[in-house]
Structure 1
Amino acid sequence: MKSLSSPPTTTPTRIEVIGMKHSIHVFLFGLVSWAAIPVAAQQTTQFADANLPDAPTATDGAASTGSSERETTWRTLPMDFLHDQKDIWTFPVQLAKGHHWVPTIVVVGGTAAFLAADPHVASYFRSHQRNVDKVNDVFDPMITTGEVIALPTSLLVAGYLRHEPREVSTALMAAEAYGDSAIVDLAIKAVTRRQRPSDIPPGHPFTNTFFNGGKSPFKGSSFPSGHSAAAFSVATVVANRYSRKRWVPILAYGLATAISTSRITENAHFTSDVFLGASIGYTTAKYAVLRPR
C-alpha cells in the first residue's frame, strides 16, 4: 500500500518557484511604482489645474535637478520622438565638433573590455547553469518585459486618476525613451547579427559569434540586449524625474540591473550585449529625452 505521507518531490519545488517568482516580482515592481507615484504628487503641487495632458506649466521638478525640465504631452509626443531620433542619428556630427567624447570613450572602452571577457563569462554560466535556475525562473523574459511596460503605464493611469499632469508627462517620456532605445537596438542588431550564448553547441568556443547571416535582427540577434536597453531607458526617466527621493533612483536602477543581469545568467546574452544595451537605454533617456529644449 502506497504511503500517503510522501508527496512527489517535484511538487514542493514547483510551488516554491512559482511562489518566489510572483512574490519577488510583485514586491520589486510595487516598490518602484509606489515610490514614484507619491513623489510625483509632491512635485506636481505647483502645476496649473488645467486640462490633461496638454497644460503642465510649473517647474517644480526643476528644483530637484537644478535646471529646467521639459514636459511631454500626447500632442507633442510625435515631434518629440522625431527630435530625439534626429539627435541620436546625427550624434557623429557632435563628436566631430568635439562634444561628448568622454561618455563615448567610456561606452566604447567598456564594451571592448566586456567583449574580451565574454567567452569566459558565458562558459562559467553554462557550466553553473543549475546553480542559478531558480533565479532565472524569477526573471523570465516575458515577465520582465511586462514589468518594464507596466511601470510607465501605471504612472499614466495614476496621473489621469489623480489629475496630475507631471505623472502623465513622465509616463509619456518613459515610453518615448523606450521607443528611442528600441530603434537603436534593432538597428545595431540588424548589422551585427550576433549569436546568443545559448546558440553555441556544448563544447564549442564562444568566439566568432558576430555576422551570422541566419540571425533575425528582430528576434535572434544578441548584440545589444533589448531587455537591458528597455529597462535602463525607463529607469533613467523615472530616476531623474523623481530624484528628490533617494530610494526612487535606487529602486529603478536596481530593478533594471537585476533584469539586465538575468539575461547573462540565462545564457541569453553575453556581458557586452548587456553593457551596451544598458548604455543605449541610459544615454538615449538622459541625453535625448530628458534634455531641456
Structure 2
Amino acid sequence: MRFRNPAVLTATLTILLSAASAAQTETPESEDVAVAAPTSDADSQNPPAPPSTSEHTNPSEDARDRIYYPGDTENAKPLAKKLVFNILLDQKEIWTSPFRMNRHDAMWWALFGGATAALIATDHKTINTFENSPQQVSWGNHISNIGAAYTLLPLTAGFYAYGAVTHNTQAREVGVLSGQAMLDALIVSTVLKYAAGRVRPDSTTGERSQFFDRGDSFPSGHAIETWAFASVIAHEYKRYGGWWVPYVSYGLATTVSLARFAAQRHYASDILAGAGMGWFIGRYVYQTHEYHAGHPHAWAHPAIYPQFDPTTRTYAAAVQFGK
C-alpha cells in the first residue's frame, strides 16, 4: 500500500482521535449532598415542604439541563426538538475535544491510534486472511445487515414505543439514548469517510486501500453505529444487574463487525476505528445523560417518606420533591 501524501497516516489518525476523544471528557464525580439534621418527635408530624421556586433556578444549570429527557413519555415534537439539540451539543463536544484532552486521555488515545496505524500498515495482508469466496462474501453481507442504520434505528424506536405503552422508564431511556448515540455516530462516520476518502477492498474503480481517493471505507459505518448502540444498551442494563447484557450486545456488535470484514467491505483498521469510536460515543451519551440527571431539574421527581410519631401512635407520609 502506498500513500499519495507522506503525511496521510498522521492526518487520518488526527481525524480519528478528534472524533472519538470527546467520550473521555471528564465530568465531576460527585456533587455536594445536603445532610438533614436530626428532628424531634414533634417535627415528624409535619412533612417537609417542597423547595421554593427560587431553588429551582440554579446558576449551575446549563444547556443540557434545559433539554433533559424527562422520566415520562413526551410528545413527538418536544422529544424530537430535545434530541436535535442534544446531538448538536454532542457534536460540539466531539469536534472540540482535542483541545480539552488531558494527559491521561491522550495516552489512551495514542495507544488506540497506534493500534489503528499498525492495522493500516498491514491491511493489504490481513484482507486476505479468509478465502474470500462468493459464498463468504454473500453471507457476510447478509449478516452485516443487522448493523445497518435502517435496522437499528427502527429498533431504537421500538424500545421507546414499548416503554411508552408499558410505562417502562428504562426502555424509553434506552430508545432515546441509543438513537442519539447512533445519530452522533452516523454524523461522525460520514464526515470521516469523506475526509479520509479511503477506497474499499472490493472497489473496482480505484486503487484499493488508497486514502484521499474519493472512497468511503474508513471508518466502518456499520461498526461505529452498532457499537454505539451496543454501548448504550450495555451501560444502561448493567446498572440494574443485567450482567449478561454486555456480553449479548457486544457479541452482536462483534458479529456485525466481523461480517463486514468477511464481506470484503472493510479493512481491519476500518473496523477497529469504527468499533472504538462507536463504543466511546455510546458511553459518552449515556454518562452525560446520567450526570445531568442529578442537576436542578431533578426537583420534579417526588420521593415519599413514611413517618411515625410514637407519642401519639400516628402514621404520616412526607412527600419531598428532590433527588
Tell me if TM exceeds 0.5: yes
Partner AA of 2:121 in structure 1: A
Please show how residues 179-258 of structure 1 align to structure 2 within 5 Å: 179-199=183-203, 206-207=208-209, 209-213=210-214, 215=215, 221-243=216-238, 244-258=241-255
CA deviation after TM superposition for structure 1 residue 123, in Å: 2.5
Preserved contact between residue 84 and residue 180 of structure 1 (Cα < 8 Å):
yes
Deviation, 1:200, is 5.3
| Residue of 153, 168, 174 corresponding to 1:170 | 174
Matched, 1:108 2:113: yes
Q: TM-score, normalised by structure 2?
A: 0.60
* Alignment-derived partner of residue 266 in structure 1: 263
Match of 1:84 among 87, 90, 105: 90
1:158 corresponds to which residue? 162
* Distance in 2 (alpha carbons) for counterparts of 1:142 and 1:54: 28
Shift of 1:163: 1.0
Q: Would you say the 8 A contact 1:123–1:206 is kept in 2?
A: no
What 5-or-longer segments of structure 1 have no aligned partner?
A: 1-52, 58-71, 216-220
Does the 8 Å contact 1:55/1:165 carry over to 2?
Answer: no
Sequence identity of aligned pairs in percent? 26
> Which 5+ residue runs of structure 2 have no aligned equivalent?
1-67, 73-77, 293-323
Instruction: Tell me the SS of whatever aligns to 1:269.
Output: coil
Contact 1:136 1:265 in 2 (8 A): yes
Residue type of the partner of 1:188?
L
More strand by proportion, 1 or 2? 2
CA RMSD of aligned residues (A): 2.7
Task: For 1:142 and 1:257, locate their aligned partners in 2 and report how far apart those are by CA, in whole Å.
Answer: 11
Q: Note the C-alpha offset of 1:206.
A: 4.8
CA contact (8 A) 2:137 2:264 kept: no
How far did 1:227 drift?
0.4
Partner amino acid for 1:265?
A
1:119–1:205 Cα contact (<8 Å) kept: no
Q: Is the 8 A contact 1:196 1:269 kept in 2?
A: yes
User: Aligned-pair distance for 1:166?
Assistant: 2.5
Aligned residues: 216
> CA offsets, 1:205-257, max 9 Å, x none?
855x11114x4xxxxx1000000010000100011000121221111111111
Q: Secondary structure at the match of 1:56?
A: coil
Partner of 1:275: 272
SS of the counterpart of 1:197?
Answer: coil
Aligned amino acid, residue 171 of structure 2: E
SS state at 1:194 partner: coil
Q: Which amino acid aligns with 1:82?
A: L
For 1:76, the aligned partner's letter is K
Q: Deviations over 1:162-216 (max 9, x none)?
A: 0122211221110100111111111111111110000158xx9855x11114x4x
- The match for 1:56 is 71
> Distance in 2 between the 1:273 and 1:166 partners?
33
Q: Which has the higher helix share?
A: 1
* CA distance 1:84–1:99, shift in 2 (3 Å): farther
Question: Which residue identity is paired with 2:71?
Answer: P
Structure with max Cα Rg: 2
Deviations 1:86-144 (A, max 9, x none): 2101111112x43512331232022112112211121233x432562564254153774
